[in-house]
Structures are given as C-alpha cells and as structure tokens.
Chain A
Amino acid sequence: MNQHIEMDSVTLADLRPEQQGEILKIDSADGVFKRRMMSLGVVAGTAVTLDRSAPLGDPRIYTLMGYSLGLRNTEARQIRIRLK
C-alpha cells in the first residue's frame, strides 16, 4: 500500500537540524524496544525535528510531541521517517 513511500524513506539518524520529519514506522523485531518507543510518542504521523547532537555526534536530542528525547544513532536508524 505504501511501498513507494518506503522506497525513498530515510531514518531518524539521517535527519538534519533544519529539516522536519514525520515518523513512518519502527523497523525492529524487538517488541519491547518497539513498544517502549511507541509509548514515548514514536508512532506513525508524529512530527519530529533534530534538536542537537552530543559533542561526538552521538547520541542526539530530537524534539517530538513538545519534549526532548535523547537517542543513540543505533536506535535512531531503526526508526523510519519521511522528510517534510
């Protein structure tokens, strides 16, 4: 159904500071991780921006649902987004 969106989708780790992203899907087989991320508001349709990166570029702080969430790039790469 949304296969072509998936084709050119990028991950949260690719988001640049000036860009606006929208969450599409969590690509992980780990159910606990997935449910944990969802309970933090990482669900399809949520708007997300990159707030800032730690001194070595990892982890990074994202803004979503009006709060700041710190995530490592390993985890961010499992979250697919669409650039707006």
Chain B
Amino acid sequence: MKSPVTVALVGNPNAGATSLFNALTGAQSAVANYQRVTTSLSTREISHRGVSLRIVDVPGIFSTSSQSPEEKIGCDYLHGEEPDVIVNVLDAGHLDRSLFLTTQLIETGLPRITVLNMIDEVRRAGIRIDTAMLASALGSPVVETCALKKEGIEALLDAVVGVVSAPPVTPLRLHYDSHLEAAIDRVQQHMAELHPQELSPVRSRWLATKLLEGDDEILRHESNHVELVDEIRGEQSTLAHEHDEDAATLLASARFAFSNGLLREVRQQTEDPTAGFKLTRILDDVFLNRSLGLPLLLGILWVMFEATFSLGAIPTDWIKAGVQLATDLVDKTLPEGMFHDLVINGVMAGVGGTIVFLPNIVILFFFMAVLSGTGYLARASFLMDRVMHHFGLHGTTLIPMVAGFGCNVPAVMATSVITNKRARLIAMLISPFMSCSARLPVFILFAGAFFSNIAGTVVFAMYMASIGTAMLSAVLLNRIIPGSGSDAFVMELPPYRLPTMHSVLHHMWDSAQGFVAKVTGVILVGSVVIWFLQEFPRNIVYSQDFETAITEMESRADSPAKDEALRSLKATQAQEKLEKSYLGRSAIAVTPLFEPLGFSWRESASIMTGFVAKEVVVATYAVIYAQEKQSDGLTAALRGAMPPATAVAFMIFTLLYAPCLSTIAIIAREARSWRWAGFSVAYSLTFAWILALAVSKIGQHLL
C-alpha cells in the first residue's frame, strides 16, 4: 500500500467538499453558502486506523470536460495527479444534477467512494435513498454524511481505508449506444497504438471518450498525431450526421439517462419533492421580490453598518476605559523622560487609539459571515447583475466586491472566479475601492466626531460611495483597457441555510485575531516611528522665545486670565514644535497638493503614513493630538480642527486613495505585472483627489 494514500475530495461547487475537508482534517478553511468559495487546492495529512491519508480539497467542478476556466484547477488536478482514491462529494438534495460528474468519475477507473452530503436536508424533505442499491449501481461504497454536523465522518474514513486495503476491483463501465461505442472503440484503439504500454485499457477508453467529447486540452497533447486528430474529427462529424447532435451532447444525454434511470430506482419520495425547499421559496418571495428585492438589499446593508457603528460603541467604551487605566498606570510607574513620552504619546496613543475599533470590526465580520453563510450573497449578485451589467461588470463580481469589505487582499484573489481575462483585470483594479475594514476606524472616528446623530448612516453612505466609485471606475476602465468580452451569468442559487454557530464564531475570531495582530505589529511599529518623527529634531529654532515668555507669565499673580494665557502659549509652542519636526516638515512639503481639498499638514501626514496600511491613519492622528496635549480627546480635537465638509472630503480621500502595500503586492502577483499595480496606485490617487475636491466644494455649500 502506498503511504500516504492520496484522497481527493471532488464534487460540484457548493456540495460541501470543503466542509467535509474541515471535518476530516480539523482544518478551518473558509466555507460559505455560494459557489466557488474554494479556488485552490488544499492538502492535509491525517491518519486513520494506522493508515496515513493525504486529503486534498479540490475546487468544485460540474464536469471534467466543460473547460470553463473556473473549473480548470479541479480538472487539471484529476488529469494530472491521479489520486489513489476519489471521494465524490454529492449534495444529496441535488442528485439529479450531480450524478453527471459521478458518471465521468466512474470512467476514470480510479477507486471511488460516493458521499451523500447534507443528507439531513433530504431526510427532512421525506426523501429516502436506497444506498445499498446505489452502491452496487455506481460500483463504489456509499456513505451518508452531514459535514457541518460532523456526522458520518468515521464511516467515511473507514470506507476510505476499506477501499485502499481491498484488492483492486474491475472498474464499472458505462455503456453508450452502438454508434458511440464503436467510435469510442476505434479512437481507443488508435490511442493505445500511439502510446504502447503507457495506457491501461480503462485510461485509454477514458481519454478516447474525452477526445470525442471535444476536450481541447487532451487534443492539444495529441496534436502531433495528425492522423488521430483527423480520425476524431471524422468520428465527430459522422456522429453528428447520424444523430443530428454533436458527440458531446450525445454523451451528456447518455450520462443523464443513466443517472435519471438510476435515481428512479433508488430514490423514494414520500412527500412533495420540493417540500424541503419550501422555506427557500417563501424567503425568495420576499428577498427576490421584484419591487422589494433591491430596497431590501440596501436596507440590509444599512442595518449592517448602523449596527457596526452603534452596537460597537458599547464595548468600545470599555476598551477605552481599559486603555485609559493602562495609560495612567504607565504614567505613574515610568520616570519622566523620553521613554515615558514614547510609551504614553507614541505607543499608548497609537495602539490604544486603534484597538478601540476592535468591536466594530468583529461586528462587521459577523454580518458578513451571516450574509455569505445563509446564501443571501448569491441572491444579491442575482439582484445586482442587471445593474452591474450596465457598468460593464458581472453579477458574480459582487462576491469579490463584498469580500472586499473585509479586506481587499482576498477580494483581489477572489476575482479568479471571473472567466474573462479582461473582465478579471477590471474587477481586480476596482476592488481596492471597496472599503475594507482598515478604513472602518477612520469612518467611525470622523462620523462619530462630526455627525454623531447619524453616524451609522454616514458610515453606510461611505460604503455606498465605495460601491458607487467602484462601478463608475469600471465604466472608465472598460473604455481605457483595450479588448472586449464578458462572461455569461450562470449561477446556481443554493437553498437558504442556517450558518453554523461555529463557522460564524470562527469568522469573527479570525477577524479579531487579524486585527489584534495588525495593531500589535504594523500599528505599534508605525506609532513608534511616527512618535520619533514628530519628536525630532530637538534643537528647533522657535519663532519666539517661548521659555522666557512662559517663565515671565508664571511669575505673575494667579488669575483665570493668566491660566488662559499660559495654556495658549504652551499650545502654540507645541504646535510649532510639531510643525518643525521631521513629520511636520515633510507633511508641510506635500500639503500644497492637498490644500485645494482643505487639508492641513496633519491630514497630509496621516495620508502619507496610511500608505503602509490604512489603520495607521487613525494612529497618526492619535499620536499627533496626544502630543498637542488636547485633554478633551481625539474626537473633540478633530471637531475643532476642520469644518464638516473637510471631514467628509477626508473620509472620501481615505476611502479611495492608493491601496495598502499588501493589496498592491497582490495585484502585481495576480495580474502578473507591476505595471498594473503601479497603474492602480496612480489611478486611485487621481480618483481620490478629484472626488475629494468635488465633495469639499459641494460640502461647503451644504454643510
């Protein structure tokens, strides 16, 4: 026996192969209730009853021969790797469609196990499946599972071990009508002659069938055998002539005839077969209602952002209190001096000022987990397809776009579901406009400071602005980037499902961990760097002699006027010190660029530091204002520093300008060119500048 034994999980998209992979291996791969969540192979090794198994989660495919690019990874794996065992994962509620893939897997001749996943849904609908009869008809053991509830996992592992320890059995063979059989025989013969001793009879028959089906990939392999290619073309046209249908259609019809016949034998429907999905129909009557559907989508998003803001406020207050407590403690224990200032005004201000947004981020991810886990996201792309089509985008682009609300990096990677290369590039270039959770702190801070009554709605509006800009820019990119072509919208709408508590909690935990890692990593380092930049150089030549003025003022008799004058003197000095620091000087150097937008050097400084990661924007503000000793907090300080119109312009600018370093890197990797990554930076900066200018000009009249 080979060790480890390679076990490939193969099934239709959304059949639950990844959930099964997680249940088998203890992995935590992302799952959701829509197609193509898994876009690459993942592998884990486990051991069962002393046999070590290498489990491979293969991205979902409907067929081994459709050759649509999104199925390429899965198909290539089956052609190239030849796993030792195929675990064919079927959605038990959708057997009519998914047995088609099974018929193709039978022809590979590899040992198989058939898994009826989500068996609970089928049982609830009152459908019974005769698994013993199914097993003998498919020539493989049949195991019933419910991967999310971890049911049937032991039985599946036992079956895998059983198959690998048993002596090889003669593989099952599907029989087609006599014309097709004859054609397959002839091509198979020819293949066997061309590759003597290389191909087993099963393998050569499989290849022959696929060649007749029109598999260009395999045909390319054989392209130097001109006679074979000619023969295939000949067989195809004879078949098409005799049957009035091409060979691919004949084969597909034969496969469906086999599976339909089989299902009539093994499946007993005790009730109305659609009963199981009654709830889905009722929910769709509401969510996909022709007049209510789109307003509801907007409403759901509004609730999501309103809750992100307002529910987040409560735990945020606790964290704020905790940060204050810690700051006071450090303040008392550390001796006065530079290290004291670094810790209080740099680290505590920057890290503490950012960590308070943790609750908001966790709440946002809770909603995203619910939207994708229930199947609503698939509905949203269906609802939006027509609108997005107008902008030259595809309905399914919505999924990477919504993923972008979390982080732009997976959003760029998720564009791999888009078939057309140019459409994919456009989707990639617009995804940085999607407001990721790193920008959320900026919105919450500014919306809370300037529009405290409608802060949730302002945050929602910023997200809408992000979608709007993404769409507008798609129109523009469609004109700029040469070429044409778009994908067909072909999408299965899965039944609504209740996401498991575990997966939702895992999503939230993951986002919390990621955020804390960022705060204790890039934000911590950033805060320290910013503190040094604003603290040095020390030998500043002030415009007036503050020291003498302050000593002189302190010697006067106590009065409220004296306190006021002293406070003002110290503030002016702190202000001038900041402006003459390295941070201030470099920010002032670029400020002319931002002056039309109404930004001061503080905004310029935050924008510059935010290139690294957008969370740093808030940290920079926190460090600058901590230095200016504003006792009434960052919120009040901001309110005093700029008019509301400028605040909105700043939010817009932060939303749109340059993707963060990780996103730039991922664009360069996925687009396979640094030029497109550079283009993305220049393009988004231009967009941000123009829109922020427009907003600040219009805002001055309105606010």
Contact = CB atoms under 8 A, between A and B. Distances in A.
10 contacts: A1-B244, A33-B488, A40-B62, A44-B253, A54-B290, A55-B291, A55-B386, A68-B493, A69-B490, A72-B488
Residue in B66, B67, B389, B395 with the greatest tally of chain A CB atoms within 10 Å? B66
Contacts of A52: 284, 288, 290
Interface in B485-499: 488-494
Contacts of A33: 488
Interface string B321-334: 00000000000000
A75 interface: yes
A55 B96 contact: no
A75 B490 CA distance: 9
Given A61-B493, A70-B385, 8 more contacts: A32-B66, A32-B67, A35-B66, A51-B284, A67-B93, A70-B489, A70-B491, A72-B389
Interface string B196-220: 0000000000000000011000000
Interface of chain A, main secondary structure: mixed
A4 interface: no
Contact of B249 (A43, A54, A66): A43
Q: Counting chain B CB atoms within 10 Å of each CB, which of A33, A52, A57, A67 scores highest?
A: A67
Contacts of A39: 62-63, 65-66, 100-101, 252
A65 B96 contact: yes
Interface string B230-262: 000000000000001110110011001000000
A34 B492 contact: no
Nearest to B490: A71
B443 interface: no
9 A-B pairs closest in CB distance? A39-B63, A65-B96, A39-B62, A38-B252, A68-B493, A70-B491, A35-B66, A56-B386, A36-B66
A54 B66 contact: no
* Contact-residue bracket for chain A: 35 or more
Contact of A35 (B67, B256, B294, B389): B67
Interface in B273-296: 273-274, 284, 288, 290-291, 293-294
B681 interface: no
B29 interface: no
A70 to B, nearest CB: 4
Nearest to B390: A56
Given A43-B252, A65-B97, A35 B290 contact: no
B75 to A, nearest CB: 11
B253 A45 contact: yes
A72 B389 CA distance: 10
Nearest to B257: A45
Contacts of B494: 68
Nearest to B248: A35
Contacts of B96: 41, 65-67
A68 to B, nearest CB: 4
A72 to B, nearest CB: 4
Contact of B248 (A31, A54, A65): A31
B383 interface: yes
A14 to B, nearest CB: 18
A30 B187 CA distance: 24
Contacts of B252: 35, 38-39, 43
A1 B244 CA distance: 8
Nearest to B281: A51
A35 B214 contact: yes
Contact of A43 (B246, B253, B385, B493): B253
Given A39-B100, A58-B386, A70 B490 contact: yes
B95 to A, nearest CB: 8
